[in-house]
A and B are shown apart, each in its own frame.
Chain A
Amino acid sequence: MSTERQEAVLLPHQQDKDHLLDLYRKMFLIRRFEERAAEAYTQGKIGGFLHLAIGEEAANVGTIVALRDDDDVFTHYRSHGHALARGMDPGAVMAELFGKTTGVSRGRGGSMHLASLEHHFWGGYAIVGGHIPLAVGMALAHQYRGLDRVVLCIFGDGAVNTGAFHEALNMAGVWKLPVVFAVSNNLYGMGTAIERSSAVTEVYKRAAAYNMPGRRINGNDVLQVEAAVRDAVERARAGEGPSLLELVTYRFRGHSMADAELYRSKEEVEQYKARDPIVAFRRRLEEQGVADAGALSAIEKEVEDTVEAAVRFAEESPEPDPGTIFDYIYVNP
């Protein structure tokens, strides 16, 4: 991997204590939420497939916080972190993982298909790359209606070799649409390293083919991510068109809970864990005097309680009624 990166210039509000602690709270929430989800999965309380973003919390949070409330988000199947960062209720997200009727998709979607119209969160999508044209279509609708909203479209490095990626970025470039493409490059598309699947492994360079700016960001530095995404969002909002941001990150867990991780070494994983984005950000907050250990521990305790309450809520929530299976196929059948 090339280590070539472009440093984003931090923004004035990124020095603000409340903002910094909010970023930390969100990252820690995602970490604890997913650790508890993994436990529930191994206990058989969550079925199906569960894709954790542990290790990618800085990229999760830095992207989402750069948006306005009425901006729109499309994301992929590894999206618990995006949903939580967007302010979706942890109990309702956990209940969706449990398939309960109180879940954000009322148990119809599960882990990979979280969605909430209220949060302008149009979903996790589990066909790799399939949602990228949808994000472009929504950006077209904003442009058509003269709205100053921006669409953020998040996907992984596995998506960048699909036809949908190419078709969608090309169209966004031609029409100068208000959309920001953020690729979480965690170096593996499922179990295949990016070097073995991409002729050009620096994803941001592909932006040149679509006449849009491309930047490679340290995806494990939440402030760098936020600053870069805000730049791209403001550019899009001003009518200057789309951008492609490559957030270089790493997932500490397997592709899904069912992944034995035969494709990478334990040493490699340990190297990245030593550079844990949450630990690093915590240290930074302490060193810069933003908060002391006690204040950070208090945040962590509060998050622990939130997550425990979310699990309890999910466990105690009712299953959907099988009689609802025919609901919402058509408005006018």
Chain B
Amino acid sequence: MATKTLLEAIRDALIEEMRRDERVFVLGEDVGRRGGVFRVTQGLIDEFGPARVLDTPLAESLIVGVAIGAAAYGMRPVAEIQFADFIHPAMDQIINEAAKIRYRSNGAWGCPIVIRAPYGGGVHGALYHSQSVEALFHHVPGLKIVAPATPYDAKGLLKAAIRDPDPVLFFEHKKAYRSIRGEVPEEEYVLPIGKADVKRPGEHLTVITYGYNVHLCLEAAARLSRDEGIEAEVIDLRTLLPIDKETILTSVRKTGRVLISHEDTKTGGIGAEVAAIIAEEALFYLDAPIVRLAPPDVHAMPFNGRLEAAFMPTVEQHYAAMRDLARF
């Protein structure tokens, strides 16, 4: 086992899949010579050449549209959107074309593309370099959405995403790129899309989360165990669409208490869907109201450090919410 950062694990996944399958190529803004603004694709152009590592103009609609067209005959494009905030010009291509192609063609052809996008705040990115955009796509059948929290999951899920015959949005938390390290096996492995992972077993309450918040929740849960003897079960959704109902419901039926946490704002977020699933299918197992912990519904993450801190979820918030829920 080697210890890797999230970013290194993602790069390794790209390299392995490009070596394995000539149909795989990457395209995006500055992914070639510059190696991407976060350096995820650094070195790829040296190994695979400019035909497989394509620098594009600053035009996200084009990047995604080209990927869709190339994928029709079975190519496996991996498109990078430089910041998730820049994905909005490509909404039409993603929602109107990528998501619908298999359906409109009655399965005659599909759209095996991956769209990678760094998302999330806490890096003083302000309005257009901090957003969480996953909920905007969660409403769209035909798409898959993956948001890994650890290097191990990121590598195994990105490899699965590249091999998946349908379009996958792959969201990488930019604060986690270099700050989160973890063990990654040397040998080849692929993880299933659509399966959540119980990152920490527990009996007193269920915490359902994804992305960078997984780490906040795990730290809060460890402190809570040490300080109060409360054992929280932390579920990392990993895949947001399709969502793993079974893992959610199994845990909820066991603990009867649920905290849902994400960095995206609250209204209409992934947490709303998770809460609705639980309400529909496990209401009578609940011993306390469902709690959602999410940033306030403000327009954009503010630049100022104190304002940004007021937006970003913290370990302390999670600790308090988990404790209060266990005591309810």
Contacts and interface: CB of A to CB of B under 8 A. Distances in A.
A134 B69 contact: yes
Contacts of A134: 65-66, 68-69, 72, 97
Contacts of B25: 144
Interface string A139-154: 1110011000000000
Interface string B82-113: 00000001001100110000111111111000
Given A105-B104, A133-B65, A330 B142 contact: yes
Nearest to B167: A330
B153 interface: no
B144 interface: yes
Interface in A310-333: 327-333
A330 B144 contact: yes
Nearest to A325: B103
Interface in B313-327: none
A144 B104 contact: no
A144 to B, nearest CB: 6
B141 interface: yes
A267 B64 CA distance: 45
A163 B60 CA distance: 11
Given A133-B93, A144-B25, A329-B141, A108 B106 contact: yes
A86 B142 CA distance: 29
B56 interface: yes
B231 to A, nearest CB: 33
Given A127-B96, A137-B70, A141-B72, A330 B102 contact: yes
Contact of B166 (A108, A145, A168, A331): A331
Contacts of B286: none
Interface in A284-333: 327-333
A167 B59 contact: yes
Contact of A138 (B51, B57, B69, B108): B69
Given A134-B65, A134-B97, A167 B166 contact: no
Given A130-B92, A167-B62, A168-B62, A141 B106 contact: no
Interface residues on A, range: 35 or more
B103 A108 contact: yes
Q: Which of B66, B68, B93, B144: most chain A CB closer than 10 A?
A: B66
Contacts of B164: 331-332
A105 B242 contact: no
Q: Which size bracket describes the interface of B in this complex?
A: 35 or more
Nearest to B69: A137
B75 interface: yes
Given A163-B89, A167-B57, A331-B166, A133 B105 contact: no
A137 B97 CA distance: 13
B189 interface: no
A209 to B, nearest CB: 13
Contacts of A138: 69-70, 72-73
B133 interface: no
Given A137-B69, A138-B73, A140-B66, A329 B103 contact: yes
A182 to B, nearest CB: 17
Interface in B119-155: 141-142, 144
A41 interface: no
B240 to A, nearest CB: 14
B67 interface: yes
B61 interface: yes
B75 A141 contact: yes
A130 B166 CA distance: 19
17 contacts: A108-B103, A108-B106, A133-B62, A136-B65, A138-B69, A138-B72, A138-B73, A139-B69, A164-B65, A167-B62, A170-B57, A171-B56, A327-B107, A328-B107, A329-B141, A331-B107, A332-B165
Interface of B: 25, 51, 56-57, 59, 61-62, 64-73, 75, 77, 89, 92-93, 96-97, 102-110, 141-142, 144, 164-166, 193-194, 242
Interface of A: 74, 105-106, 108-109, 113, 115, 117, 122-123, 125, 127, 130-141, 144-145, 163-164, 167-168, 170-171, 174, 327-333
- Lowest 10 A-B CB distances belong to which pairs? A137-B69, A133-B65, A134-B69, A167-B62, A137-B66, A137-B70, A138-B69, A328-B107, A141-B70, A331-B165
